[in-house]
């Protein structure tokens, strides 16, 4: 049986000066796509400005330059959520939103909630414009 590794916060977040300032722990998310979407393996989803009462919307391919935050975690015990099109999430999520923070580039999602590919370099540029520090971390650490 194959084991699928899900991302954890440490795969994305390298350093955070003030976790309480840099995160929003009760963010309502919006599915702005035309189709119902199921979200799981939450860490690193790019988010753009919210609408219709939501704090943020899931960015989709083509929105990379508008990314202003990254999804960090779901509420405890939530493994997935299906969000109908043009609807807000039923749960409140943990979102990484304000610097000073350092994130691992490989922790950013490469595909959107519809499975389309993101241009990660454009997401990095958008976040760096907001004063986020994005770096490439080694994939394997060894000790001597």
What does the pLDDT look like over 99-143, one tens digit per residue? 999 999 999 999 998 899 999 999 999 999 999 999 998 766 656
- Let me know: does 56 contact 30? Beta carbons within 8 Å: yes
Which pLDDT belongs to residue 3? 65
pTM to 2 decimal places? 0.90
Q: How much is the average pLDDT of 39-51?
A: 92
| pLDDT tens column, 59-98 | 999 999 999 999 999 999 999 999 999 999 999 999 999 9
- Tokens 């000073």, residue? 100
User: Mean pLDDT for the chain?
Assistant: 91
Furthest C-alpha separation in the chain: 53
Q: How much is the average pLDDT of 50-58?
A: 90
pLDDT at 6 over 80: no
pLDDT at 41 over 90: no
Q: How much is the average pLDDT of 52-58?
A: 91
């Amino acid at each position: 049986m194959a084991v699928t590794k899900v991302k954890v916060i440490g795969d994305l977040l390298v350093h955070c000066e003030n976790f309480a300032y840099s995160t929003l722990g009760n963010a309502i998310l919006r599915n702005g796509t035309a189709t119902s979407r199921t979200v799981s393996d939450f860490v690193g989803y790019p988010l753009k400005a919210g609408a219709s009462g939501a704090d943020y919307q899931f960015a989709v391919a083509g929105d990379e330059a508008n990314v202003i935050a990254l999804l960090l975690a779901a509420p405890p015990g939530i493994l997935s959520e299906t969000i109908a099109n043009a609807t807000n999430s039923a749960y409140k999520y943990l979102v990484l939103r304000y610097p000073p923070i350092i994130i691992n580039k490989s922790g950013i999602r490469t595909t959107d909630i519809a499975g389309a590919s993101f241009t990660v370099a454009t997401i990095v540029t958008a976040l760096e414009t907001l004063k986020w520090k994005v770096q490439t971390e080694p994939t394997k650490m060894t000790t001597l």
